[in-house]
């Protein structure tokens, strides 16, 4: 069952923020000219900076004569979309990350796509993905890919040191101890000093940071589950069981085979293949370790299509979006280069994605098959923050945690306080 957030969040925001009155209504659906006749060619503009965007646009334009898409490469539409909507010069469609969606929806900057794409989202995507693009039972985006989390590991080194692939976080800790005992210059994995990763691991553990209570937002960042996750990683780092290198130093450790595993998104497979080609055949993937041994994953990254408020070509734009997110042809075009291991958010397209990625690097293992199973195990109660303040404060305090000035578990209280303060300043009700 979808949580109360997704049944009533729009109502909660409506009660506190008047500008959402338009956003929660119907969108301006056009695709027709002033005379009411459909133009011979409808031209729409896409803002995207993701790999494969040009290829997918070219494939669409070749197969569709009445709609043509122009790509404008915008590396981070999140930064520009608000001003573009206010100025009336936003594109017809843009690509954003899932964690960027709520804040823009809360500001009334997206078209409501429920009528045009609601059934597609409901029928083609898992509930755990649907929840990320749905507020108040209204669809504000259509999923593209899912950064479902897996554990990547050096199969050859696991065998060399007699390490079993851990199924639990307790087993992961035991493996870290065994690696360090075998060779002090090795580490099982990098330390977790990343705000987005901490969010993902809290999600996997069952935390729900945002929900609604009637017409008010409920913020629960500083909770027991989040602390359990942070304390666990803090302990591993304090005991020097993990590699605390950063940037190029961390990459060097990976290239030299001094790090045996990493918990991250499925997209990491492409990075390994291109960045460490000499390690081909040595890597494998496994489901993420869990706290109780029962399968559970979460997302670390992922993108969706949105239609900015004011688009005059909503119907044509949704036709492009639907083709791009539901057809094997679109996936094959986007991943044709063969260097990306991204998983389509639509499970029906996982096989098409697999066909573009040579499994030889992973010893013949189909990592998309593992990711597809993991996708079905993500808790369906997670929602991202409706304000950018949350991520900003987490990032700022994560820097202090990296420096050793504070514990990782101390980042949550500051994020909780700052988020509540910001929501209240914006006129949103917050449940105490």
- The residue with tokens 């293949």 is 273
Q: What is the pLDDT of residue 39?
A: 55
When mean pLDDT is compared across 35-49, 103-117, 328-342, the lowest value belongs to 35-49
pLDDT (average), residues 284-288: 98
Half-sphere exposure in the Cβ direction for 275 (13 Å, CA):
17
Q: What is the pLDDT of residues 294-309, one digit of tens each?
A: 999 999 999 999 999 9
Q: pLDDT > 90: what percent of the chain? A: 83
Q: Residue 314: pLDDT above 50?
A: yes
Instruction: Show me where the domains of the chain are located.
Output: 4-146+299-364, 149-296+383-425
Cα(377)–Cα(6) distance, integer angstroms: 19
Report strand pairing: 42-48 vs 67-73: parallel
Q: What SS3 class is residue 117?
A: helix
pTM value is 0.89
Q: What is the pLDDT of residue 6?
A: 42
pLDDT (average), residues 7-36: 39
- Residue range 149-296+383-425 in CATH 3.40.50.2000: no
- Phi, psi of 287, rounded to the nearest 5 degrees: -60, 155
Range among 3-12, 152-161, 245-254, 377-386 rated most confident: 152-161
Q: What is the pLDDT of residues 33-88, one digit of tens each?
A: 445 555 589 999 999 999 999 999 999 999 999 999 999 999 889 999 999 999 99
Q: Residue 278: pLDDT above 70?
A: yes
Closest CA to 377 of 301, 290, 300, 302: 290
Q: Could you give the angle at the alpha carbon of 39 between the alpha carbons of 33 and 45, nearest 5°? A: 85
CATH of domain 4-146+299-364: 3.40.190.10
Buried b (16+ CB within 10 A) or exposed e, 98-124: bbbbbbbbbbbbbbbbbebbbebbeeb
Beta strands in 26-172 (DSSP E): 42-48, 67-73, 93-97, 134-135, 138-139, 142-143, 145-146, 149-154
Which letter does DSSP use for residue 395 in this model? H
Tell me how far CA of residue 426 lies from CA of 107, 169, 362, 395, 416, in angstroms: 10, 40, 49, 22, 16
Q: Residue 273: pLDDT above 80?
A: yes
C-beta of residue 226 within 8 angstroms of C-beta of residue 202: yes
């Amino acid at each position: 069952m979808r949580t109360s957030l997704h049944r009533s969040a729009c109502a909660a925001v409506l009660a506190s923020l008047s500008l959402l009155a338009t956003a929660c209504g119907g969108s301006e659906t056009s695709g027709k000219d002033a005379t009411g006749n459909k133009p011979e060619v409808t031209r729409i503009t896409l803002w995207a900076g993701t790999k494969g965007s040009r290829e997918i646009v070219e494939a669409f334009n070749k197969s569709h004569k009445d709609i043509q898409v122009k790509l404008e490469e915008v590396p981070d539409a999140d930064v520009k979309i608000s001003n573009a909507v206010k100025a009336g010069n936003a594109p017809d469609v843009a690509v954003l990350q899932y964690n960027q969606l709520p804040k823009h929806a809360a500001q009334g900057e997206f078209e409501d796509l429920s009528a045009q794409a609601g059934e597609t989202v409901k029928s083609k995507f898992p509930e755990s993905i649907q929840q990320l693009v749905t507020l108040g039972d209204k669809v504000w985006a259509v999923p593209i890919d899912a950064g479902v989390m897996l554990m990547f590991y050096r199969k050859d080194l696991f065998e060399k040191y007699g390490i079993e692939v851990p199924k639990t976080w307790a087993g992961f800790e035991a493996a870290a101890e065994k690696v360090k005992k075998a060779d002090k210059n090795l580490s099982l994995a990098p330390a977790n000093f990343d705000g987005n990763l901490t969010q993902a691991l809290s999600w996997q553990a069952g935390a729900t940071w945002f929900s609604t209570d009637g017409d008010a937002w409920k913020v629960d960042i500083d909770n027991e589950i989040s602390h359990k996750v942070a304390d666990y990683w803090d302990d591993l780092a304090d005991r020097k069981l993990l590699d605390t290198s950063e940037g190029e130093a961390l990459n060097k450790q990976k290239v030299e085979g001094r790090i045996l595993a990493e918990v991250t998104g499925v997209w990491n497979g492409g990075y390994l293949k291109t960045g460490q080609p000499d390690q081909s055949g040595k890597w494998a993937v496994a489901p993420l370790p869990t706290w109780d041994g029962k399968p559970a994953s979460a997302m670390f990254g992922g993108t969706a299509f949105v239609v900015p408020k004011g688009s005059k070509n909503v119907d044509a734009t949704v036709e492009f979006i639907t083709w791009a997110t539901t057809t094997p042809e679109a996936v094959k075009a986007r991943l044709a280069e063969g260097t990306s291991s991204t998983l389509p958010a639509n499970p029906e397209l996982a096989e098409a994605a697999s066909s573009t990625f040579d499994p030889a690097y992973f010893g013949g293992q189909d990592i998309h098959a593992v990711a597809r199973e993991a996708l079905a195990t993500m808790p369906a109660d997670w929602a991202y923050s409706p304000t950018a303040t949350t991520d900003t404060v987490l990032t700022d305090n994560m820097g202090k945690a990296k420096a050793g000035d504070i514990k990782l578990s101390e980042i949550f209280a500051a994020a909780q306080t700052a988020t509540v303060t910001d929501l209240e300043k914006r006129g949103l009700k917050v449940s105490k």
